[in-house]
């Protein structure tokens, strides 16, 4: 994300990072399109680091599957590993916009809510501003988001890092920073929320009194190489689906 019409927009990713620029990436649109049926799930992309370890890496980081907190914890370990090995690389982070403290090692794909019931886990724009600041302080300079990120999340990153980047995104003209536009609201208690301190310290409620705050990941105990994980070229048959339906458990309904 570079200023519209700016020459920086024509530079490559490494050139931008090497110049000290803070780059903001947005991968949230892929998941949004997939949930609408525009993107078909296919075979996993081969791990380039495993296939060609001799190539090294200019950018190292985490993408998808986990929330900002877990992702930055992982990036911190990567940074320590790079330093211990005497290697230099740019750091990147593109986490989910969902809170996933209850995930297993495979991340949010094991959660019962994946992929169409994840909305109660969506991070607020204030969560994302906090993530952007923590990522920057950690030394990450490619800061973005993956599944679940909406335009207002990406704008939150750009607004949080505006002092370092030297400009605000165009969409910032449409609202007040940290809810400041609420100062003209008709309700006085809402006007009192027109400040950074309120939104930074708010502990939001889910509004779902009969739902658990955490989920138990499914996973089913399958591991790499298990037949059920193999991607087949032909469409899944009705018989294959019935076998999976019979295996599926609904603890809350028992």
Q: Which residues contact 148 (CB under 8 A, 6 or more apart)?
A: 28, 31, 96, 97, 98, 118, 121, 122, 123
Is 188 exposed, middle or buried, given 0-12, 13-18 or 19+ CB atoms closer than 10 A?
Answer: exposed
- The answer to whether 122 and 207 have CB atoms below 8 angstroms apart is no
Burial class (CB in 10 A: 0-12, 13-18, 19+), 206: exposed
Task: For 98, list phi and psi in degrees, rounded to 5.
Answer: -115, 145
**Residues contacting residue 220 through CB under 8 Å, at least 6 positions apart:** 228, 247
Find out whether 147 is annotated in a ligand binding site. Answer: yes
Q: Which two tokens stand for residue 220?
A: 């089913």
d(CA 66, CA 86): 28
For residue 63, report the phi and psi dihedrals to the nearest 5 degrees.
Answer: -135, 125
Query: Is 103 annotated as contributing to ligand binding?
Result: no
Per-residue DSSP letter, 104: B
Q: Which of 145, 116, 133, 140 is nearest to 26 (CA)?
A: 145
- Other C-beta atoms lying within 10 Å of the C-beta of residue 247: 10
From the annotation, which residues make up the binding site for Zn(2+)? 64, 146-147
From the annotation, which residues make up the binding site? 64, 146-147
């Amino acid at each position: 994300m570079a200023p519209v019409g700016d020459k920086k927009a024509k530079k490559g990713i490494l050139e931008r990072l090497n110049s000290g620029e803070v780059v903001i990436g947005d991968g949230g649109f892929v998941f949004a399109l997939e949930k609408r049926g525009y993107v078909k799930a296919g075979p996993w992309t081969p791990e380039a680091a495993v296939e060609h370890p001799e190539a090294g890496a200019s950018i190292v980081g985490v993408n998808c599957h986990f929330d900002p907190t877990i992702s930055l914890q992982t990036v911190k370990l990567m940074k320590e590993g790079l330093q211990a090995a005497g290697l230099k690389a740019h750091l990147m982070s593109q986490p989910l916009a969902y809170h996933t403290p209850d995930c297993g090692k495979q991340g949010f794909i094991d959660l019962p809510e994946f992929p169409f019931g994840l909305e109660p886990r969506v991070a607020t724009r204030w969560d994302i501003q906090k993530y952007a600041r923590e990522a920057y302080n950690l030394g990450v300079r490619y800061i973005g988001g993956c599944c679940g990120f909406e335009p207002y999340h990406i704008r939150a990153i750009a607004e949080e890092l505006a002092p370092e980047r030297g400009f605000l995104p165009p969409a910032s003209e449409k609202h007040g920073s940290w809810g400041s536009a609420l100062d003209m609201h008709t309700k006085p208690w809402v006007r009192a929320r027109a400040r950074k301190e309120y939104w930074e310290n708010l502990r939001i409620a889910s509004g779902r009194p009969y739902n658990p705050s955490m989920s138990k990941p499914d996973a089913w105990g399958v591991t790499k190489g298990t037949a059920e994980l193999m991607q087949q070229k032909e469409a899944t048959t009705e018989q294959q689906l019935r076998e999976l339906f019979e295996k599926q458990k609904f603890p809350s309904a028992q």
